[in-house]
Structure 1
Amino acid sequence: MNDLSRASELNASIRGNFRGPVRATDLSFVVPAFNEEANIAESIRRIHHHARRLVSSHEIIVVDDGSTDGTLEKTRAVGAQIPLRVIRLSRNFGKEQAIMAGLENAVGAAVVVMDADLQEPLQVLETMLAHRAEGFEVVFATRAHRKDESFAKRLFTSVFYKLLNLGAEAPIPADARDFRLMDRRVVDALCALPERNRFMKGLYGWVGFRTKSVPIELKRRQGGKSKFGFRGLLRLGLTGMTSFTTWPLRVWTGIGFSIAILSILYGLWIMFRTLMFGVDVPGWSTLTVAIFLLGGVQLISIGVLGEYLGRVFTEVKGRPGYIIADVINTEEGCLR
């Protein structure tokens, strides 16, 4: 048995110890939450209200991604009135892994992933379900505009997705949100993927299936602040780039060939000039610039190679993407 198989069995064992009895339901809601004490209770109430109007049965799964504020307590408090499951991770593993923890524990015929910040309009759920009835297996929300973001963030996002889509096997929409409705077959396909470094927007596109986008107008955040600063976005961007395209490696291969060809041509020119006009005074400044240029190029190319090698190192270790500390089922009022 290889390392990936053993890791998959370990993940299954972790989920099996906490899932409890499985009951089929029409719709599962997966809500990853990290330090969302200001929004989580109202988010759950709104989800429950809309779900009761749209489907006959539903479940709400809140994934507490190692929150350090009162998110867990607020969730348990609202769970006294609204049946839900709370999956508490042992530490903060990141939003991508929190989403996977929810997907791997959801039992609905369809699953909705959404944030807990109250920015996404729940009214669009009716439209999503209508598109699913038309035969679309994935219905996802896209931003109608980015006027609320800074120029730097808009520029970074635009450049990143253009670079990412240069070598991606499947196009990844730049304005797509994690807010999406997925059929059970799509969820099962995502859960079957063995990789640990997950860039969910890329994986959504990679698994395929019939897809439909729905533009939405994001609301202003009700409370708290975004957990994705520049460093977090940069880290996520590197994960996406190294997971879905190899063009950075090819670019530095091209740069290496170009520098080698230019060096050969320059060497031929020096040889010709020496034969025709003799030896001139050595150019120390030119030599210094050339050494620093080539040294910088080599270090950058090693760094790019190191990013890919680091991803491989993480994958071959076979550690699970997340660890569940406990699961609180408020419907039964007990801790599993």
Structure 2
Amino acid sequence: MNKKKTISIVIPAYNEAENIPVIAQRIQEVFQSLPGYDYEIIFVADGCTDNSLEIIKGLGKEASVFYLEFSRNFGHQLAIKAGLDYAKGDGIISMDCDLQHPPELIPQLIGKWEEGYEVVYTIRKEDKLLPYEKRITSKLYYRVLNKLSSVELEAGSADFRLLDRKVVNVLKRFEENEPFLRGLVKWLGFSQYAICYEPAQRFAGKTKYSIKIMMRLALQGVTSFSIKPLYMMVYLGFLFSSLSVLYIPYVIYAICSGHGVSGWASLIMTVVFFGGLQLIILGIIGVYIGKMFMQTKTRPNYIVRSTNIKD
């Protein structure tokens, strides 16, 4: 008799008290229709300040529900990474707690995994209910990311994916202090398959992804996989240096003809422009240096305060 395969469901949770019982119930209902599989749900309490942890602990009385409590908020990506590190399943699914990643899609993920794909990831279809500005910035986010980084991510790529155990074993060896998992999974290779899905509306609460967080995530994605921005700064420097040479003949002519070189306002504007450009260039260089500085400290990427997962 073949042993049942185990599916681990990793769910980061930051102040998601209203959503936790609902997503746990819907996952349990999904696996009732999949009797050939065992499952475990791992909630990662990412520095919650509401009663999310108490609710998770209550659910943890069931054998299939486990939790990791962080000592503070370490962020969504590290919460997923911690869940992957602790998961014991043959296949590991990561998904958000707000129910925008529909649990009813899990059988499709497992089906493609059983066909031999080692990474089954999802692509979110465009949500027409989102504000126009939000949809435009989302498209721009992926376009810029793909132009500047060395990995190609489809617009709408989500952290809702199934990874085979061998893929997770490789990811567990990564010790990056700012992991960008969408890019890392794509960079790893293996046989991958994409499933498109219609995003559901958030069940309760407000999104934790502000514009500031999205911009930081985009910057992490670019600087984690490419040094293209540094090359772009070099090319930009050569370009403006070349353009400045074109101004020399005009200066020589003005001096020889006895005319003063006019343009005080344009001169100030040019100085301000190049001053701002230099600050941007220094900022980009600083980001790379800062990443190296933080990585060399070899601090733990996250700290688990408590868990009911046994070794």
Post-superposition offset of 1:282: 4.3
What is residue 126 of structure 2 aligned with on the other side? 145
Q: Identity over aligned residues, as a percent?
A: 36
Which residue identity does 1:78 align to in structure 2?
L
What is residue 73 of structure 2 aligned with on the other side? 92
Checking the alignment, whether the CA contact within 8 Å between 2:254 and 2:260 is kept in structure 1 is: no
Q: Secondary structure at the match of 1:57?
A: strand
1:207 to 163, 166, 188: 188
Deviations 1:113-161 (A, max 9, x none): 1111122222221111111121111111211222132222222221121
What is residue 5 of structure 1 aligned with on the other side? none
Checking the alignment, whether the CA contact within 8 Å between 1:65 and 1:89 is kept in structure 2 is: yes
Checking the alignment, whether the CA contact within 8 Å between 2:254 and 2:261 is kept in structure 1 is: no
Which residue identity does 1:173 align to in structure 2?
E
Distance 2:269 2:98 in 1: 51
What is residue 293 of structure 1 aligned with on the other side? 273
Indicate yes or no: 2:254 matched with 1:254: no
Distance 1:221 1:189 in 2: 32
Post-superposition offset of 1:246: 2.2
Distance 1:89 1:52 in 2: 30
Which residue identity does 1:155 align to in structure 2?
I
Q: Which has the higher contact order (CA 8 A, sep 6+)?
A: 1
What is residue 9 of structure 1 aligned with on the other side? none
Post-superposition offset of 1:273: 4.5
Indicate yes or no: 2:306 matched with 1:326: yes
Q: Secondary structure at the match of 2:102?
A: coil
What is residue 11 of structure 2 aligned with on the other side? 31
Post-superposition offset of 1:285: 2.5
Deviations 1:214-263 (A, max 9, x none): 11112222211111111221221221121123222222222211111111
1:239 to 220, 232, 236: 220
Higher deviation after alignment, 278-287 or 250-259: 278-287
What is residue 197 of structure 2 aligned with on the other side? 216
Checking the alignment, whether the CA contact within 8 Å between 1:65 and 1:98 is kept in structure 2 is: yes
What is residue 194 of structure 1 aligned with on the other side? 175
C-alpha RMSD of matched pairs (Å): 1.9
Post-superposition offset of 1:281: 5.2
Which residue identity does 1:177 align to in structure 2?
A
Which residue identity does 1:34 align to in structure 2?
Y
Q: Secondary structure at the match of 1:116?
A: coil
What is residue 11 of structure 1 aligned with on the other side? none
Checking the alignment, whether the CA contact within 8 Å between 1:141 and 1:179 is kept in structure 2 is: yes
Checking the alignment, whether the CA contact within 8 Å between 1:170 and 1:206 is kept in structure 2 is: yes
Using a 3 Å threshold, how does the CA distance of structure 1 residues 134 and 25 change in structure 2: closer, same or farther? closer
Checking the alignment, whether the CA contact within 8 Å between 2:12 and 2:44 is kept in structure 1 is: yes
Checking the alignment, whether the CA contact within 8 Å between 2:175 and 2:301 is kept in structure 1 is: no
Equivalent residue runs for 1:68-79 within 5 Å? 68-79=49-60
What is residue 122 of structure 1 aligned with on the other side? 103
Checking the alignment, whether the CA contact within 8 Å between 1:164 and 1:244 is kept in structure 2 is: no
How many aligned residue pairs are there? 307
Checking the alignment, whether the CA contact within 8 Å between 2:148 and 2:229 is kept in structure 1 is: no
Q: Secondary structure at the match of 1:30?
A: strand
- TM-score of the superposed pair, with normalisation by structure 2: 0.92
Using a 3 Å threshold, how does the CA distance of structure 1 residues 230 and 173 change in structure 2: closer, same or farther? same
2:28 to 36, 48, 67: 48
- TM-score of the superposed pair, with normalisation by structure 1: 0.86
Checking the alignment, whether the CA contact within 8 Å between 1:32 and 1:115 is kept in structure 2 is: yes
Using a 3 Å threshold, how does the CA distance of structure 1 residues 56 and 280 change in structure 2: closer, same or farther? closer
Checking the alignment, whether the CA contact within 8 Å between 1:97 and 1:198 is kept in structure 2 is: yes
Distance 1:91 1:48 in 2: 29
Distance 2:154 2:171 in 1: 18
Post-superposition offset of 1:167: 3.8
Post-superposition offset of 1:83: 3.0
Indicate yes or no: 2:94 matched with 1:113: yes
Distance 2:109 2:168 in 1: 16
Checking the alignment, whether the CA contact within 8 Å between 2:123 and 2:196 is kept in structure 1 is: yes
In structure 1, stretches of 5+ residues that fail to align are 1-23
Using a 3 Å threshold, how does the CA distance of structure 1 residues 82 and 149 change in structure 2: closer, same or farther? farther
Q: Secondary structure at the match of 1:123?
A: helix
Distance 1:240 1:52 in 2: 38
Q: Secondary structure at the match of 2:217?
A: helix
Checking the alignment, whether the CA contact within 8 Å between 2:126 and 2:135 is kept in structure 1 is: no
